[in-house]
Structure 1
Amino acid sequence: MVAAANTDVVASRYEALESASVAFSGIGEELHVAGDLLKSHRLLAAALLVNLASELTSGIVMLLRSTREYPAGTLLRQLFEIEYLAFQAYADPSQLEKWYGADPVALRRQFTPQAMRKALGGVFCDQEYWHHCEVGGHPHPRARMLLRKYASRLSPDAFLLPDSVQHVRRLWTSIRLLMPQLDGGDGILDRHAKGLTSALANWERVENPRVLACDGIDG
């Protein structure tokens, strides 16, 4: 039986996404409170970033469970930009304040997906982002991949669900590396990491190795 048809594997994918939404929400809430108390733009920026990740992940889960893969794909494309920002932030936490306080011109110049990929030196693949823009972003003929009305040997969730978990796992890596660099971040991370860490470990244990290898980093 292929992994996509294995109910245990599918359940582990949903568990990972749902656990991520919960963990991100808890982390974001604590960062927001700390940022307000300390008047820290860095903490407030991190809080906003992680809260956005929570909302997007939760939305992806709800849409996938209701077999609305195309809008789920549009949210996943947005999650890419959260990934880029989080990666930038852990590599250089000062980027958080720059993003948080940027005016529209600076946002367009420094924080568009293309600008961030370039600044990160090719860690993230252009083609990966372009593919997601085609199937779940701008109106494009390839979007039919995510529509059940178009006959296909493979249902859209069979590839969109594991792909979503891959991106959440990548994002979680950046968040885990960022948190110890923030005031009080170690404690916040400790309070909210357990469920997601366990869910991802379970997913990695049961997932098809070929799926695990397709993480999209460096092409």
Structure 2
Amino acid sequence: MHDSFTSSPAQSRRDLVMSLGLGLVVFGAEARSLTADGNLTGDQVRRLLLAGLVGAIGGELVASVTYLAAGRWAYASAALVRQLVEIEYLAWAVTNDPDDAWEWFKSDKRIRLQRWQPGKIRQRSEGRFPNKDYHDHCEIGGHPVPEPAMSVLGHRDKWVEVTLYETALHGAATWHYLLRALEGIDPISEVERHYQLVDRAYEVWQRTETMDKGLRSENDE
């Protein structure tokens, strides 16, 4: 892994996204495996199940963006970032109110439509997640919209960097929410090791990043 003295912005994005993908996958597996520990309370088991599932899903999305970006599959990468934004919402919900988030874990389709659609979570977040950010991701990678799709497919290199930036942004937020969700539970050794790698990559990324607005700046052109 590069440091802030040798990393370019593009390299620091890739380093962080790779670290986040592996870190979240390990987090998900380790958190869920700990639920078999008979010394945990019911509340701790629920938090581990919730955080572990959200982490596992998020990790696969982030890791997949890494591979797609390496092949310059810009549109497919953007579609996964839109999914990652929804994972960030769930990671916040798990941290903010685990008892409420347990409803999502046990929900059927009717409950998910009533309370767990992305817009419903944004409403409960009281402005933490702007509508425009989510709608921009839907335009770029959520639905087949002609003009954005032509822009992405016609300028692959530029959009790959935007996608990596957005993955770093939303992936890091997801990671930090999930770590907070496990406060008060004994540290998970594997996660602790990956935390150091992610923390270092995140610090370098913050120091070297030059793309201040990411998707929003590209949409405003």
Sort the TM-score into its range (normalised by shorter chain).
Answer: 0.7 to 0.9
Q: What is the aligned counterpart of 1:61 among 60, 66, 87? A: 66
> Does 32-41 or 54-63 show the bigger shift?
32-41
5+ residue gaps, structure 2: 1-5, 217-221
Structure 2 distance, partners of 1:98, 1:191, is 31
The match for 1:17 is 17
AA of the residue aligned to 1:9: P
Contact 2:28 2:52 in 1 (8 A): yes
Query: Could you tell me how far 1:96 is from its partner in structure 2?
Result: 3.2
Structure 2 distance, partners of 1:10, 1:62, is 15
The match for 1:34 is 34
Contact 1:176 1:189 in 2 (8 A): no
AA of the residue aligned to 2:22: V
Structure 2 distance, partners of 1:36, 1:67, is 41
Q: What is the number of residues matched between the two proteins?
A: 205
Structure 1 distance, partners of 2:80, 2:93, is 20
* Cα-to-partner distance string for 1:133-154 (whole Å, 9 max, x where unaligned): 011011112222321xx258x7
Q: What is the aligned counterpart of 1:155 among 155, 158, 164? A: 158
AA of the residue aligned to 1:201: E
Q: 2:143 is paired with a residue of what secondary structure?
A: coil
The match for 2:200 is 198
Query: Could you tell me how far 1:15 is from its partner in structure 2?
Result: 0.5
AA of the residue aligned to 2:202: L
> Does 114-123 or 171-180 show the bigger shift?
171-180
Structure 1 distance, partners of 2:79, 2:214, is 20
The match for 1:143 is 149
* Cα-to-partner distance string for 1:105-162 (whole Å, 9 max, x where unaligned): 1111111101100111121010110111011011112222321xx258x721232221
RMSD: 2.4
The match for 2:98 is 93
AA of the residue aligned to 1:33: S
Q: What is the aligned counterpart of 1:52 among 46, 57, 61? A: 57
Structure 2 distance, partners of 1:120, 1:98, is 16
AA of the residue aligned to 1:97: W
AA of the residue aligned to 1:160: T
TM-score calculated relative to the size of structure 1: 0.84
Q: Which has the higher contact order (CA 8 A, sep 6+)?
A: 2
Structure 2 distance, partners of 1:109, 1:184, is 35
TM-score calculated relative to the size of structure 2: 0.84
Report sequence identity in percent. Answer: 25
AA of the residue aligned to 1:168: G
The match for 1:3 is none
Structure 2 distance, partners of 1:127, 1:175, is 24
Q: 1:156 is paired with a residue of what secondary structure?
A: helix
Q: 1:193 is paired with a residue of what secondary structure?
A: helix
Contact 2:30 2:188 in 1 (8 A): no
The match for 2:131 is 126
Structure 2 distance, partners of 1:188, 1:15, is 19
5+ residue gaps, structure 1: 1-5
